[in-house]
Chain A
Amino acid sequence: MSREVLLAFSKEDAELAREYPGRVFAWTPPAVHALRKARVDFKTLSDIQLEKKFWGYDHVDLLCRFENWCSGIDRLLQDEIPELKAMNVRPFAYKLLAMRKVFFQYLNDYKKLKYVSEFYQSPLCYRAGPETEYLDQFASLGEFTIPLRCLNPESRASLPLGAIGHWYQEHGFIKQVGKFMLRDRKVKRLSDFLRALIGNRLGSKRPAILVINRGYDSDEIMRRMREQVGVDTIFWEDCVRIPSRPLIFNSASIQKRIFQEMKNHPWTVADGVDFLPFFEPLIRSTLEFDVRRLLEISHAFLEFDRKFRFSVVFAAAASTEGEAIFDQCDRLGIPTTLNLHGGSVGVYRDFAPMPAISTGYKRAQNSFYLVYSDLMKSYCDEVKAISPAYGMENVAVGSPQLDRLWEQFR
Chain B
Amino acid sequence: MIYTYVCGAMGAYNIEFKNGVYDDASLYQLRHEVAELFYAQTTHQLRFKLGYDLEKKHYGFEDEVERRNQPQVSLIGSRTGFVTTFATTDVFLIEAPSTSLLEILVTEKPALVLSDERGLRLRPEILRLLRKRVAIAPDPEAFTQAIDSLLRDGFVGPLWQGVHASNRELFEAFTRTGGRPGLENITAFLTKTLSQRT
Q: Given that A33-B28, A54-B121, A400-B186 are contacting pairs, would A373 and B177 also be in contact in the complex, using a CB cutoff of 8 Å?
A: yes
Does A27 reach chain B (CB closer than 8 Å)? yes
Interchain CB contact under 8 A, A221 and B106? no
Question: Does A395 reach chain B (CB closer than 8 Å)?
Answer: yes
- A101/B195 contact (C-beta < 8 A), A29-B28, A46-B29, A53-B118 known: no
Contact present for B16 and A402 (CB under 8 Å): no
Contact between B61 and A224, CB atoms less than 8 A apart: no
A225 touches B187 (CB 8 A): yes
B190 CB → nearest A CB, Å: 6
Residues of B within 8 A of A221 (CB): 183, 186-187, 190
Whether a CB of chain A sits under 8 angstroms from the CB of B30 is yes
* B40 contacts partner chain A, Cβ-Cβ < 8 Å: no
Using CB atoms, name the residue of chain A closest to B16: A104
Contact with B along A60-100 (1 / 0, CB 8 A): 00000000000000000000000000000000000000001
**Residues B60 and A56 in contact, CB atoms below 8 Å apart:** no
A333 touches B197 (CB 8 A): yes
Residue numbers in B under 8 Å from A167 (CB-CB) = 12
Contact with B along A330-350 (1 / 0, CB 8 A): 001111010100111011111
State whether A399 and B17 are in contact (beta carbons under 8 Å apart), knowing that A29-B25, A29-B28, A347-B126 are contacts in the complex.
Answer: no
A240 to chain B, nearest CB (A): 24
Residue numbers in B under 8 Å from A350 (CB-CB)? 120-121
Of B42-50, B69-77, B95-103, which stretch is located at the interface? B95-103
- Residues on the B chain within 8 Å of A297, using CB: none
Q: Are B19 and A409 in contact (CB under 8 A)?
A: no
Q: Any chain A CB within 8 A of the CB of B152?
A: no
Q: Is A368 in contact with chain B by the CB < 8 A criterion?
A: yes
The reply to whether B26 and A34 form a contact with Cβ atoms under 8 Å apart is no
A171: which B residues are within 8 A, CB to CB? 12
CA distance A333 to B196 in the complex (A): 8
B183 surroundings in chain A (CB, below 8 A):
217, 220-221, 224, 398, 400, 403
Q: Closest CB of chain B to A341's CB: distance in Å?
A: 8
Surface stretch bound by B, among A142-150, A188-196, A243-251, A374-382: A374-382
Residue A325 interfacial (CB < 8 Å): no
- Are A311 and B197 in touch, CB under 8 angstroms? yes
* Residues of chain A in range 1-52 having any CB-CB distance to chain B below 8 Å: 11, 26-34, 36-37, 44-47, 49, 51-52
Q: Could you tell me which residues of chain A, from 345 to 371, have a CB within 8 Å of some CB in chain B?
A: 346-351, 363, 366, 368, 370
| Interface presence of A137 (CB below 8 A) | no
Q: What distance in Å separates the Cβ of B37 from its nearest Cβ neighbour in chain A? A: 15
A55 and B19 contacting across the interface, CB-CB below 8 Å = yes
Task: Tell me if A46 and B30 are in contact (CB < 8 A).
Answer: yes
Chain A residue nearest to B189 (CB atoms) is: A397
The interface residues of chain B lying within 8 Å CB-to-CB of A207 are: 194
Contact residues in B for A406 (Cβ distance below 8 Å): 106, 171, 175
A188 to chain B, nearest CB (A): 19
Q: Is residue B55 within 8 Å, beta carbon to beta carbon, of the partner chain?
A: no
Contact B177 A374 (CB under 8 A): yes
Q: Which of A30, A309, A379 has the most CB of B within 10 A?
A: A30
Interface residue? A177 (CB, 8 A)? no
A398 in contact with B181 (CB, 8 Å): yes
Chain A residue, CB-CB nearest to B21: A46
Could you write out 18 A-B pairs with CB less than 8 Å apart?
A26-B25, A33-B32, A33-B59, A45-B21, A46-B23, A53-B118, A54-B119, A57-B19, A108-B18, A220-B183, A229-B194, A310-B197, A332-B197, A346-B174, A349-B121, A375-B125, A375-B174, A403-B181
Interface residues of A (CB under 8 A from B): 11, 26-34, 36-37, 44-47, 49, 51-57, 59, 100-101, 104-105, 108, 112, 167, 170-171, 207, 209, 217, 220-221, 224-225, 228-229, 231, 309-312, 314, 332-335, 337, 339, 342-344, 346-351, 363, 366, 368, 370, 372-376, 379, 395-403, 405-406, 408-410
Residues of B within 8 A of A (CB): 10, 12, 15-30, 32, 57, 59-61, 64, 83, 86, 97-103, 106-107, 117-123, 125-126, 139-140, 171, 173-177, 180-183, 185-187, 189-191, 193-198
* Leading 7 A-B pairs by shortest Cβ distance: A55-B20, A33-B60, A398-B182, A56-B19, A343-B102, A333-B198, A46-B26
